[in-house]
Structure 1
């Protein structure tokens, strides 16, 4: 395999492996006996993949027998219940039960966590799920062992408080005015797991799922991002087009030249064209060189009906001209008004004050590799324009967010005091911040910006993380901002919060506790991230590398080093590439064996990453070029 190994299953004397290189290989006594060129993972076996599908394969013939569709985001894990049934989990907040001969799921169970990393079936047929909120959920068909009514009610209440966007998922994109009222819930659903949206008035939409066992509709969250029939930004015009069982605004015929047959490209106007193009490339195993060509094709043929496109006067898609918007001044020479999310004169939570120290430290560096120095001081992102943050907060507080979410004047004043370093009555003020973090995705970014500023304080961390339950709830809130369809400022500010958590001992420990989930999310998000989001992601990677040096965490250093294979063929910003390079040098100082590996293995993580950077280095500034050359020289040294 050329990339990270993700799954292994034994099948008698044969072992089947699946990896990030989109290849499944059957092995016998260490020899490759068959390679399955597929995007996806029993004599027949099942595989899951990032194209939302599950596939059933015949080991002997190497043929795909059946495809199962139902998940609406990445599928992470599969476990077999019996010869005829299996269960899967993924990034769409659900586990789904399947019959082997039916390509539609027979039951959908929602959970109050975004990422359901792992699912397994116990010998008693209980289903166990591990999720991004740090909890393990157990589901059973044995009535004698089910949770109490109170626990079940609390579980359902937690699910009902989730926010669901219409950009992804199985809800579809509809006008609020076309939705039925709550009287529709008086009619039973047609199948277990069926979802519907209800217009609750005042612009509020709720999502419900039919529970066929209990014969009732269960609320699964509040819907955000519905297309309003009166909105200037309505996403679709005319009839939707059915393609492979789903409705789309467009289905294009894409002709990539004589060597390729025309391919179908389905697209909804609420998608990011570059993300849609990347999914298209993965699905059809195309060269990465087609990315810009396909994305620009989408932009041209949708007549500009796409999200995240900046108007000529730099009106931000989330706010508007001259308003507060998360953006950043990096340590490179970029203008403060060139952020991809915002424009001239707006509030900018910037990174110009990032406390990065690249000079040699008091930590020892081995004489053999004295040409490189580890980074030893965490990067903090603490510069801000407090007045504009508070102005945006007050503006949103006056909008239609619902009375239950609106702050009183006294609460607004308490947040103003907190932003201006008044830490009296801190617990009360932090409760207001946690309340703010429940605001809709398009209005939550001022709260996230305030959070990343105060999270560097020990007393703030001591109160926020005073129990395991509080820690889990806090991290769940942050992870909820990392779905691929979240506004980019939310992702950026969440990662800036992660970066600043390293500033305190308690925060550092939490970042280590959740390292697997955060690094996995980073690998998923980085390829489709732009500019300041990308920089925030790479700062977190660099801070993790610094943490391995400060605490001598050799296993973690080796793990992060292997992650560098996933950063190949990404169009990195110079500042992002520089941070990854500094992280790589720091990892070399933690574990010199990584240098030995890179020198002896032409397909090592370091070699592949450096080769990838060289390809895009034409516009890199001298400090980044120097860093690349320093690493190359090190790896060539005998």
Structure 2
């Protein structure tokens, strides 16, 4: 048999976060599930292209798995079924994405859903250590629960001898009869068993974190063990185009192709985690990976991607392989285990583990009291800077920006080459995405700023004026409203971070910000941040204050000051020395500290800078220092800008983790604040909103709600009050302790009465958002 030469065929770009599962439906369509809380249907178009025709929404947390249920008695068109970290299963209509059924019986993350062999049967498995068998033809019936594993059940399948097989993090596979009674326990794997696949009527396959694949009879006898991967194997799929063929993928960033027990091919991807693999009827292989992309690979030269795309893909693979050989914290990146190592409990309080996340390494500490691993920050190393062009839709660009136009909608890609006229590129972007023409100047100014163009067209001059005063005068905190983020997005002009409409105080924009077609304001599901600033004015203020530092060790040269200010540009290049300068300036006297804090809150939006400011060495003491600046007797600008730094810390994981680790102290400081001006109120409300988004589904949510209830009575600024309401509503909608939060709101008579009053102010356009939000909260009560 000729060995197939698999090459890239297509890249399906639509998800904004990890693609955790891929599978197929009828007519060779692809289904994908992602951490961005959606699933997508991709329809083949032409020889090798796929088009996203439906996006399935409804989950409140990551979508971890997806499957196709063929037409059955209750659902004549079949169902697209998804499982999620919100512990629920949702079934959708294939064609229009409408929700047909919601199943709520699992008590933890649903990590696998597959079709049973009988019509209308759905199998699911969960981190709650169980698998379940559902009869969708009778959705009100209690599902059969397969209970007996000691840890998460990662996979479940139905075998051809009327038995079920389950794979678990307890390193075993169990066989069950149709009534849910255990038959036998299969041992042999030495780590978590992650995937199962029915090979033929007599046998099935399993894959594991021990980097092995095992072939079993339906009775439980192990026939063979196969090796080929160098790290955890996450997924396995039968490839009917090959003799006894199957494909596997895992944490080593590869797909392995197998036939008759031999590994006959390897496909390297430019990622560390290939979460899922499935095979099309024509033998093509589909992957979902940690970079948010779905890829299709083929052995048919007629379906190979074009030469430019293949070349760019191969170059990305080479870069990733080079990065995997770098050393971080004294360890080779490729030798550090992935996140699944955290499934095993620690042996002692304070025990630490290094875990690889992409090209970063995180440090985790075991808490005996909480019985969990807590992330404490990044292990810093020499990450190679990204160089060269970025590939987008088969073409190379100097930049491919991700832009959030509207909260809740996926970011739009804005490709740009420095040789282009930014106004022409902006106009093309507006036409392509059918955006209002009023966005033209804002988009063009965004390109000019973030591409750091040397010459600025005259039309863009207004883009660098103070967004509140229209002047270049520097006012601490004058940099505008917070923007929605995901570690990858930027605000557009003065767009409202919740609705995409105008600023809150603009009556016309407020009146038109909501429509019946838009999603509810609560629960909110993404972090916000403060983006806008006048860098020139900040530089002048820093220069003025620098002269007051004198000849001390913390005084800077003009060039050093310029380099520090450039850290405020979202895509700026910088040296390690400049970060050191910024840290020295953060030691300036408190009376002249506020412009340094302003640059810091801009700088931490950058992923790499966020990792250095909030690393495990400097980060904890820096967060503690920010909290001292929130003391009631401190300067008002320092209070407000410290809160903005903490808000923007959520731009990337290191900052997010440190702020969450200090959440009790943060809440205490916020409660103690009084006599806040409007900007400080907005900063406090934004910080509480980010904490609410992060912790809404945790027990800590009650403490946040208590803090919110106290501060809302102090807020006099409408925008701050609105953001506080969104935070409170998010907690009400998602908290496991909803009853306690309801009690706190109802017992706060002044707040409860204000909610009732505001909910009826529907005719006042200035209060439209507050009124709508109040109505939604009252419904949750």
Q: Who wins on radius of gyration, i.e. which is larger?
A: 2
Q: TM (normalized to structure 1)?
A: 0.40
